[in-house]
Amino acid sequence: MSVRILALVGSLRSGSHNRQLAEAAVKLAPEGTEVEIFDGLADIPFYNEDIDVEGSVPAAAARLREATAGADALILFTPEYNGTIPAVLKNAIDWLSRPYGSGALSGKPVAVVGTAFGQYGGVWAQDETRKAVGIAGGKVLEDVKLAIPGSMTRFAETHPADDAEVAAQLTEVVARLAGGGTETAAA
């Protein structure tokens, strides 16, 4: 049985190191695990209950909900914007949290990882993302973490998939997520 993991990237920038990290997760996913990057977060309007009614849900938001509902787990890649979570990622979580108590995110295993320029690798944004996802109903894997500091220099000329240390850590994160957060043989 194959495990489907949906990846959401909190940076819209074309050269985003978090996007590259998500691409590495796709490439490094263990056998029996498929990681799919969701494209289209930029197209989703800010959450508004007035448009979140049957027959009026924006197509981009409906597509995100459908992709999430079809996934076994999610991995969120977040940079750190002004010490917190990027608006585009928070907006996606808001859409996935509805309808309250039975949103597409409800009960799904979720890992939060990322890279940022600073010396802590975006841990504040990751902590805020875990908090939002947990409140939204996701099953946050609190002990599955990866914060990579110094993204601008570390990945200036090297794709994360080609960084042996990052590749090994990311492979472990994806394997743990695919197993629902349980320890893997490599751990």
Contact (Cβ atoms closer than 8 angstroms) between residue 132 and residue 93: yes
Cβ contact 148:142 at 8 Å: no
Domain ranges of the chain: 3-178
Q: What is the pLDDT of residues 38-95, one digit of tens each?
A: 999 999 999 999 999 999 999 999 999 999 999 999 999 999 999 999 999 999 999 9
Distance CA 45, CA 92 (A): 9
- Does the predicted model carry a pTM greater than 0.85? yes
HSE toward the beta carbon, residue 85, CA cutoff 13 A = 22
- Angle subtended at Cα 161 by Cα 89 and Cα 71, rounded to the nearest 5 degrees: 45
Q: Cα(116)–Cα(146) distance, rounded to whole angstroms? A: 11
| Residue 180: HSE in the Cβ half-sphere, 13 Å Cα cutoff | 1
Task: Provide CATH code, domain 3-178.
Answer: 3.40.50.360
pLDDT tens readout for residues 3-48: 999 999 999 998 899 999 999 999 999 999 999 999 999 999 999 9
**CB-CB neighbours of 143 under 10 Å:** 9
Specify the pairing of strand 3-9 against strand 73-77.
parallel
